[in-house]
C-alpha cells in the first residue's frame, strides 16, 4: 500500500458512512428497528476503510515525520541492557 491507496481507502470509507445519511430512502428500515442492515454494513465497512487508511498514514508518514522533528539523544539504544562479555570460551 502507498499513500495514494491510503487516501483512497479513507475517501471510500467516508463515502460509505455518508451514503445512508444522505439517501435514507435507499436504505429502508428492517423489522421494528431504526437501522437498515445495508446501512449498518456500510457504516462498519466505512469505519474499517477509514481505520486502514488512517493507520497507514499515521504509521508510515506521520510517526517518522514527528521522529525527525524531535531532538534525538546521543544514546542510540537507550533503555537496553549490555550483555556480559563471555570469558573462558574459545571458538574452534
- Model confidence at 51, pLDDT cuts 50, 70, 90, reads very high
Q: Which triple of cell numbers denotes residue 74?
A: 546521543
16 and 26 Cβ atoms separated by less than 8 Å: no
Q: Give the domain ranges of the chain.
A: 3-19+34-69
Single pTM value for the model: 0.65
Closest CA relative to residue 52, chosen from 91, 14, 92: 14
How far is it, in rounded angstroms, from Cα 43 to Cα 6?
A: 18
The pLDDT tens digits of the residues spanning 61-92 come to 888 888 777 776 555 555 667 777 777 766 66
Amino acid at each position: 500500500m502507498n499513500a495514494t491507496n491510503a487516501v483512497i481507502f479513507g475517501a471510500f470509507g467516508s463515502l460509505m458512512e455518508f451514503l445512508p445519511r444522505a439517501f435514507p430512502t435507499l436504505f429502508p428500515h428492517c423489522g421494528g428497528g431504526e437501522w437498515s442492515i445495508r446501512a449498518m454494513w456500510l457504516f462498519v465497512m466505512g469505519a474499517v476503510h477509514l481505520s486502514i487508511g488512517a493507520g497507514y498514514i499515521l504509521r508510515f508518514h506521520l510517526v517518522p515525520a514527528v521522529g525527525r522533528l524531535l531532538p534525538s539523544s546521543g544514546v542510540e539504544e537507550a533503555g537496553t541492557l549490555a550483555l556480559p562479555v563471555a570469558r573462558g570460551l574459545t571458538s574452534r
